[in-house]
Amino acid sequence: MVVVTGAWIELNHSIVFNLRDVGGLPTAGGGVTRAGWLYRSDSLGQLAEADREAFAALGVQTLIDLRRAAELDEYGRAPAWACANWRHIPLDYPPWRAEDYSAEVGVVAYLVDRYLEIVELAATGVVAAVRLIADPASGPTLVHCLGGRDRTGVVVALVLSLVGVDEDTIAADYARTESATARYEAWARVHRPAEADLPDYLARCPEAAIRGVLRELTDRYGSVAGYLVAHGLTPDEIAALRAKLRTSDG
């Protein structure tokens, strides 16, 4: 059985801490994002067989894994039973280096710079993921990376912007991953005591980070849609995304 606490979806036997439905968010004109059509998560490599029935109840048909091949080798992919259509769309950008972060730089500036690397250097993968989410044939779709914060956070933020969710709501959705990370760290202190706590730039999710990315894309391309169209998404695909993921305007 799936237990929803707020918007969290709890799977009792799996090591999954950041699984949630992106439905129910208000959109421009009075609609909302459709429940049960787009999920976001941390890695599903440790999705347990004991949660098979519970996960199936979500109705996920397409699963988009944004991780690098090396991460698949290390942590594993979601089991075949988790979806009818598993798609690996690795986002190709420079690995993050601890030495690039300092308290003087700060978490927000560091993350904005890293996220802008994702959207510019991995634009092909970002557009491929958004295109797949938009495709009606994909059905209910789940997108994830490792922690469900950075790559997933950027892709979901762009999708939400396209369907008319305002910046405040997008930022709040992004920031919720910070509490998911805290849940993971609390679990790890018990079950993986040798594992060090994450540094601030990996543990925190300040709203200003995703706001900075959305605003920079608007400055560079005129809008989030402008960025995606400049890298190959079509107006018809944007229309399909909106039809799929939001209810009729009120």
Per residue in 140-149, pLDDT tens? Answer: 999 999 999 9
Contact 57/208 with Cβ under 8 angstroms?
Answer: no
What do you get for the CA distance between the two ends of the chain, in Å? 33
Domain ranges of the chain: 3-244
Q: What is the pLDDT of residue 104?
A: 85
**Given the structure tokens 């679990």, which residue do they identify?**
187
For tokens 């994830």, what's the residue?
144
pLDDT at 199 over 50: yes
Residue 27: burial class (beta carbons within 10 Å; 0-12, 13-18, 19+)? buried
Judged against a pLDDT cut of 70, whether residue 1 lies above it is answered with no
Token pair for 100: 């690039």
User: Would you say how long the chain is, in residues?
Assistant: 250
Pairing of strands 3-5, 20-21: unpaired
Mutual orientation of helices 207-221 and 167-175 as an angle, nearest 10°?
140
| Per-residue confidence (pLDDT) for residue 7, from 0 to 100 | 67
User: Superfamily assignment of 3-244 in CATH?
Assistant: Protein tyrosine phosphatase superfamily (3.90.190.10)
Predicted pLDDT of residue 231: 98
Is 50 exceeded by the pLDDT of residue 250? no
pLDDT at 4: 41
Q: How confident is the model at residue 249 (pLDDT cuts 50, 70, 90)?
A: low
2 has a pLDDT exceeding 60: no
pLDDT digits (tens, 9 = 90+) for 28-83: 989 999 999 999 999 999 999 999 999 999 999 999 999 999 999 999 999 999 99
pTM of the shown model = 0.95
Report the percentage of the chain scoring pLDDT > 90: 90
Digit-coded pLDDT (tens) for 157-192: 999 999 999 999 999 999 999 999 999 999 999 999
pLDDT band at 8; cut points 50, 70, 90:
confident
**Helix H or strand E segment including 41:** strand 38-41
